[in-house]
Amino acid sequence: MRRIVSTAVLVIVAATCLAADPPPVIRHHATIVFDVDAHSVTVRDQVTLPAGVDTFEIDRGLVLSFVPGATADAGAGEYSGENNKVAYGGQGTFTIATFATAHQPTDEVRFSRENVGGEITATVGEEGIWLSGDSAWLPSVDDALHAGTFKIDTPAGWFPVLAGEITAQTEENGRRHTTYEITEPVDGLSLVANTFVVEERDHGGITMRTCFLERDRRLSELYLDRTAHYLDLYRDMLGEYPYRSFTTVENWFPTGYGMPGWTLLGTQVLRLPFIPYISFGHEIAHNWWGNSVFVDSDGGNWCEGLTVWCADYLYKLEESDEAAHQYRRNQLKDYAAYVGEHPEVDFPLVEFKSRHSGATRAVGYGKSMAVWHMLEKELGRDTVIAALRAVYRDFRGRPAAWDDFFAAVEQASGKDLGTFREQWLDRTGAPTITVTDVERDGTAVRFTLHQSEPVYDLLVPVVARTPRDDVQEFVRLNTAEQTFTIEAAGATELAIDPANDLFRRLDPSEIEPTLSQVFAVDEHVFVPPLTGGVIKLATAAFARDFCECDEPAMREDGQPAADAVNVLVNPDPGVLDARLPAELRVHGDLVFLGGTRINLKEYDLVFAAPSPGGGTDLVVLTTNAGRLQGLGSRLGHYGKYSWLAFPADGGRVERGNWQPAGNPLAVPILP
């Protein structure tokens, strides 16, 4: 197990950052009353706007009144998800009353590959209560935070969750009254309530809580244990946790949201076996990056890539060097799939705002994470961690930009990072590296590296393999072509960047067919077998889930389209044989995959296959049409893999990758 922070980091003199002024804050003293039978919410809010501000935004559908005073710009009394600007002509503090109904349907919300859930603005009913922080259900001002007291009135037995801390909770006359205090201002106010089963545990003065829709002590204990682990991890790594509680909340419709001091996970997501060990920690890390140190909207969204480096990638690094290597390689494969062949969708990191497609994820998450990994390779982990601790210390409760992080890293390292910053943040794209003229020179190896234009300044890992051991060196490549010599007596092979430490364009031969190559295109053609009415109907349902559309393109002749990315269900033998990878053999209901036998009566097999016309198709093999139901929406979790075997009993999904065709950066050295 790797130690995340060495003792030395804790005594490094951290860089002093010039923190921006704290954002303005709206102060609330609100009473919020829900009527689940009427699907309504009534609010009375004593509001103090920031100094010099006399206009606020609020949902245009609300019936709004000043107290005392007349109704102002009254809406229809139903949340719309769109805002009105309202001018307040007085001074200081004022009070408003609002009323609206909301019952947006949630039963058709899909868990999308690129968007974590449907954008539900507001809904109040017996199934649950949800008011989105992205909507102005309370007065809002651009770039202003929220703080204050919030008294929430729900039916008895209902438990509301909001940012902040519970300071009072009582039940009487069939109603529950819960008071939250927000003393650490937050940049959005989301509220959820339901008939939760609540479990709590103290962890060094921090209240850890689970709010689940049904009693599941084992699952609750797991999430409480993982919460304690992550709170300790990030306290030691970055600094003290900024709140006094953390709550894990189960939602009745698909979500994967992280709010200050709590996270809202849909039932399906919450119960996925890998979530507590990966994505859950990512959401907790956001309490340092995003919810505490805010993103300066003018400087690009640094938050997601840094959180990936501090969470998802870190967990792989703790697992093993090979797991971390494969994680980096998968980021490069994603970039190749979603951006490499589509330069029109590329953009500089300083222009990243939010994820809404495979390309925005590959750049805003993957490339951004790689920037931090390359900084670690250039400067050392202790230096990078010291800089992050300085940013957290100086920008807590304030917005930060990429420039602020680089200023902290430069001060911690004593190095000028202007070129590094410009090439990775301000440019689009990534370098392509090739190697030529590899030869022995006595006990040394001489070789020439080439890179594409525009030229990058790169610290390139080079490994010379010898019968005795591997010799690793780092060479500085900062021109289009440079020749290097390294000492490696008896070397038999030279490998350039073998562990994918650089963010670069992979050669096509380095990339095996994966599901992400299929997801990367916007349109697919779905091909059921020529015969079998039941399987054709099931394929149509599978296709709607897969493409997240109502009218997928379907073929009726059992033949794939020559100029499209095909998704083939139980293809006819000739079609299937043309797409079988070398590692896969199919004999009736039995599949032999890399020496492992899979019975299609017990598993459904999904695999990415090279198309005879170029590109990648997807093949689905099943013996039970009913098992196709819901399979299409599950595949988005597994884009990095070549093949998946889904057990009929719902157990662990087997998965793996085909062997790449080759690697032109690994060159044999002739005697």
pLDDT digit string, tens, across residues 267-284: 988 998 889 999 999 999
- Report domain extents, the chain: 7-17+296-426, 25-194, 433-506, 515-656
Q: List strands edge to edge, sheet with 444-451.
A: 433-441, 444-451, 481-487
Quick one: pLDDT at residue 7?
28
Distance CA 104, CA 125 (A): 9
For residue range 425-435, list pLDDT tens digits in order: 999 999 999 99
Over residues 121-144, the mean pLDDT reads: 94
Nearest to 103 by CA among 186, 42, 38, 52: 38
Q: What number of residues does the chain have?
A: 671
Mean pLDDT, residues 173-184: 97
pLDDT per residue as tens digits for the range 538-593: 999 999 989 888 899 999 888 999 889 999 999 999 999 999 999 999 999 999 99
248-252, 362-366, 531-535: range with lowest mean pLDDT? 531-535
CATH placement of domain 515-656: 3.30.379
Please tell me the CATH superfamily of domain 7-17+296-426, with its number: Neutral Protease Domain 2 (1.10.390.10)
CB 433 within 8 A of CB 496: yes
Strand pairing of 262-266 and 245-251? parallel
Of the listed ranges 88-102, 220-234, 605-619, the one predicted with least confidence: 88-102
Q: Is 70 or 529 the better-scoring residue by pLDDT?
A: 529
Which pair of structure tokens corresponds to residue 195?
A: 């008939």
Q: How confident is the model at residue 596 (pLDDT cuts 50, 70, 90)?
A: confident
- Contact between 350 and 368 under an 8 Å Cβ cutoff? The reply is no
pTM for the complete prediction? Answer: 0.91
- Which amino acid is located at 467 in the chain? P
Question: 25-194 and 433-506: same fold?
Answer: yes
Averaged pLDDT for residues 439-465: 96
Q: Does 3 score more than 70 pLDDT?
A: no
Q: Give the pLDDT confidence score for residue 272 in this predicted structure.
A: 87
Determine the Cα–Cα distance for residues 196 and 169; give it in Å rounded to an integer.
15
Residue 25: pLDDT band (50, 70, 90) is very high
Give the three-class secondary structure for 573.
Answer: helix
The mean of the pLDDT values for the chain is: 91
Q: Under CATH, what is the fold of the domain 433-506?
A: Immunoglobulin-like (2.60.40)
Question: In the chain, pLDDT over 70 holds for what percent of residues?
Answer: 94
CA distance 100 to 92: 26
Architecture per CATH, domain 25-194, reads as: Sandwich (2.60)
pLDDT for 70 = 60
Q: What's the rounded Cα separation, in Å, for the pair 297 and 144?
A: 13
- Residue by residue, DSSP assigns 74-143 as ---SB--S-EEEEE--S-SEEEEEEEEE-B---TT----SSSSS----EEEETTEEEE-TTS-SS-B-TT
Q: What's the pLDDT at 114?
A: 52
